[in-house]
Amino acid sequence: MDPDRMDEMARDPRFIPGIYNYCDQWCQRCALTSRCMNYAMALEEDAGGCESQDVENEAFWDKLHETFDATIGGLEEAAEAMDLDIDEEDFDESLDEQEEIRETVHAQPFSRTAMRYIDVAEQWLRSHEDLASAGPADMRDCLEVIRWYQHQIWVKLSRAADGAIRAGIDDMEGFREDADGSAKVAILGIERSLAAWATLLNQFPDHEDAIFAMGTLRRLLRQVEAAFPNARAFRRPGFDPE
């Protein structure tokens, strides 16, 4: 998108600043699309049609190629701002630290449970594929909800864990708050998924094996609430009014 147009949109009072930072990215089901600049930008880009998209894509790659040198310069500046020298040994140390954080994130009990949930849900969904095509509309809605959050819960929790660990290392309140925001999005995804599973089970009691997915989610919810006790109080711009 043209940068001037982007600036103009950023000043438009209709849009809530940062609303897209703590949403579930499910624009199709979002009740605040009219207040979201990301959504409006995507609409404008779609309205351009295929030809305009082709022209934009070509310009994008040309520009990327032209600015290769500037990009490298920018990388060095960014590294300097973070007190890193990418050509020195301490850069390797920073990479190692990054790797350690990643491993710690994955070792958290809630990360493991969220990963487990992905598998448990996947097994159930695969063995009931017929429901997605032949089931009634409200059942398909439930399956859609389950699918939407199935991986997102783990992604949001990984971001939350990463932020919490960095907050501990660098003692930065911003990281902690961001971690609570990501954890809150995960909690909402867990609760919506639980509601969708419960609806499925009510309508089709013979699919009682859904209980394994529900039990895993309920355990996950307890773990997340224990690890992020302030997450529910976090106010997401636009979604959680003062």
Q: What H or E segment, with its residue span, contains residue 61?
A: helix 49-66
CB 22 → ligand SF4: shortest distance, Å? 9
Of residues 41 and 131, the one with the C-beta less far from ligand SF4: 41
Q: What H or E segment, with its residue span, contains residue 87?
A: none
Of residues 39 and 149, the one with the C-beta less far from ligand SF4: 39
Size of the site for ligand SF4 (CB under 6 A): 12
CA 62 – CA 72 distance, rounded (Å): 16
CB 106 → ligand SF4: shortest distance, Å? 26
CB 189 → ligand SF4: shortest distance, Å? 12
Contacts (Cβ under 8 Å, ≥6 apart) of 111 = 105, 154, 157, 158, 161
- Nearest C-alpha neighbor of 183 from the set 223, 150, 237: 223
Of residues 32 and 115, the one with the C-beta less far from ligand SF4: 32
Of residues 165 and 185, the one with the C-beta less far from ligand SF4: 185
Q: Which amino acid is at 175?
A: F
CB 39 → ligand SF4: shortest distance, Å? 4
Residues between 15 and 44 with contacts to ligand SF4, criterion CB under 6 A:
19-20, 23, 25-27, 30, 32-33, 36, 38-39
- Nearest C-alpha neighbor of 122 from the set 188, 50, 209, 10: 209
CB 68 → ligand SF4: shortest distance, Å? 31
CB 33 → ligand SF4: shortest distance, Å? 4
CA 209 – CA 201 distance, rounded (Å): 9
CA 33 – CA 15 distance, rounded (Å): 9
Residues between 35 and 94 with contacts to ligand SF4, criterion CB under 6 A:
36, 38-39
- Nearest C-alpha neighbor of 3 from the set 54, 47, 63: 63
Of residues 15 and 124, the one with the C-beta less far from ligand SF4: 15
Tokens of 213: 């997915």
Of residues 39 and 154, the one with the C-beta less far from ligand SF4: 39
Interface with ligand SF4 by CB under 6 A: which residues? 19-20, 23, 25-27, 30, 32-33, 36, 38-39
